[in-house]
């Protein structure tokens, strides 16, 4: 009788814990890790809000709101966006979605440097534009501070007058001034090209860059980010990985027409996707699971404006991948491993 009573008590305590601390069952399995030395404990799967800007397809605001809510309910506490996504639309829609969500439930990351107007892309990494952009983003998002502000895709500044040195000498110092004022909490950089991220960290005063965000470099077809992890860790820089599906390369739906990947890589990924389909294991599932499996990478960002897809990604991310299938997929991709492309 005493043993039975004891186990009943334990069951009650556990059920109380789950109810109190986990608004959704997936919270129990979500892993939270400090991003570098920022003090921000972020979920190992994070929500990218680019889809809210109708970047990939036309989206409805009501559906986008539900997608954000599903992410928060599923234990995700880090949301990344940019004024560039949908040329301000993503930030605007996200701001509306966050109105009914308590501010202490999420960290917000947005960016400076890439913008757009009337369908035309704009790049401006000047100090004044960066400063103005932060305040504009806060207004669209309906918040009074930004947890992490990033210089967006620094490779574009590399091709502009001043090169990457301008990011070091002008863009980052402007963001540091906002950090000193408490307008932003932390400062980071993003890029597709890993060598650019390393260069900026190496050539900036220590502690300036607190996090890096790279995309498509810790995926089934490209694990190059692993080569840089030790360097960033040594510098105390947090690491965020984005796009576990490699911008749609790892998908049963087929590669988007706009994808800049070389054709041999596209064919190899299509072959891998078909192999997974025959095994009854969607390549999207394997891709998400693989991307979140490396604990030294703090978080992996995915994007979707579909609440069902958000819940599915969370479920996948909280499960171990089929490692035998991972090896087989990598063998199929073969010599196309780590083949990359220019950002656009």
Residue boundaries of the structural domains of the chain:
20-249+288-322
Whether the model clears a pTM of 0.85, i.e. scores above it, the answer is: yes
Q: Which CATH architecture has domain 20-249+288-322?
A: Alpha-Beta Barrel (3.20)
- Residue 26: pLDDT band (50, 70, 90) is very low
- Span 271-295, mean pLDDT? 97
Residue 223's CB: how many other CB atoms inside 10 A?
16
If pLDDT is split at 50, 70 and 90, which confidence band does 150 have? very high
Q: What is the DSSP string of 30-84?
A: --EEE-TTS--EEESEEEEGGGGGTSSS---HHHHHHHHHHHHHTT--EEE--TT
Active-site choice (84, 85, 88, 290): 85
- Asked if the model's pLDDT at residue 2 lies above 50, the reply is no
Give the distance from CA 19 to its chain's centroid: 28
Whether 32 sits among the annotated catalytic residues: the reply is no
Kindly state the percentage of the chain with pLDDT values over 90. Answer: 86
Give the pLDDT mean for 39-44. 97
C-alpha angle with apex 224: 223 to 225, nearest 5 degrees? 90
Res 208: pLDDT: 98
Q: How confident is the model at residue 261 (pLDDT cuts 50, 70, 90)?
A: very high
pLDDT at 19 over 60: no
Q: Using CB atoms within 10 A of its CB, is residue 119 exposed (0-12), middle (13-18) or buried (19+)?
A: exposed
> Would you state the pLDDT for residue 27?
56
For residues 68-75, average pLDDT = 97
Q: How confident is the model at residue 6 (pLDDT cuts 50, 70, 90)?
A: very low
Contact present, 287 and 238 (Cβ < 8 Å)? no
Looking up tokens 């490699």, which residue turns up? 246
């Amino acid at each position: 009788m005493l043993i039975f009573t004891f186990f009943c008590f334990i069951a009650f305590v556990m059920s109380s814990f789950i109810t109190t601390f986990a608004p959704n069952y997936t919270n129990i399995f979500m892993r939270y890790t400090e991003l570098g030395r920022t003090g921000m404990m972020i979920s190992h799967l994070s929500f990218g809000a680019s889809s809210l800007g109708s970047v990939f397809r036309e989206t409805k605001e009501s559906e986008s709101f539900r997608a954000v809510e599903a992410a928060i309910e599923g234990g995700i506490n880090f949301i990344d966006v940019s004024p560039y996504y949908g040329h301000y639309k993503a930030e605007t829609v996200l701001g509306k979605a966050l109105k009914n969500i308590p501010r202490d439930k999420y960290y917000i990351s947005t960016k400076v440097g890439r913008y757009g107007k009337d369908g035309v892309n704009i790049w401006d990494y000047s100090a004044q534009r960066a400063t103005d952009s932060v305040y504009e983003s806060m207004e669209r998002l309906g918040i009074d501070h930004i947890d992490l502000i990033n210089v967006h895709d620094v490779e574009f500044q590399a091709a502009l007058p001043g090169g990457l040195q301008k990011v070091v000498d002008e863009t980052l110092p402007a963001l540091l001034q906002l950090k000193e004022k408490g307008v932003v909490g932390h400062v980071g950089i993003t890029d597709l090209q890993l060598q650019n991220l390393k260069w900026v960290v190496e050539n900036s005063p220590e502690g300036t860059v607190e996090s890096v965000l790279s995309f498509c470099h810790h995926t089934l077809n490209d694990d190059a980010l692993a080569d840089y992890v030790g360097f960033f860790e040594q510098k105390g820089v947090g690491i965020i990985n984005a796009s576990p599906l490699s911008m749609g390369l790892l998908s049963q739906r087929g590669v988007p027409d706009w994808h800049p990947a070389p054709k041999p890589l596209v064919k190899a990924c299509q072959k891998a996707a078909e192999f997974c389909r025959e095994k009854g294991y969607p390549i999207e599932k394997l891709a998400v699971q693989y991307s979140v499996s490396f604990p030294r990478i703090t978080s992996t960002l995915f994007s979707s404006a579909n609440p069902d897809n958000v819940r599915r990604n969370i479920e996948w991310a909280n499960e171990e991948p089929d490692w035998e299938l991972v090896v087989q997929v990598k063998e199929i991709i073969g010599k196309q491993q780590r083949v990359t492309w220019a950002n656009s």
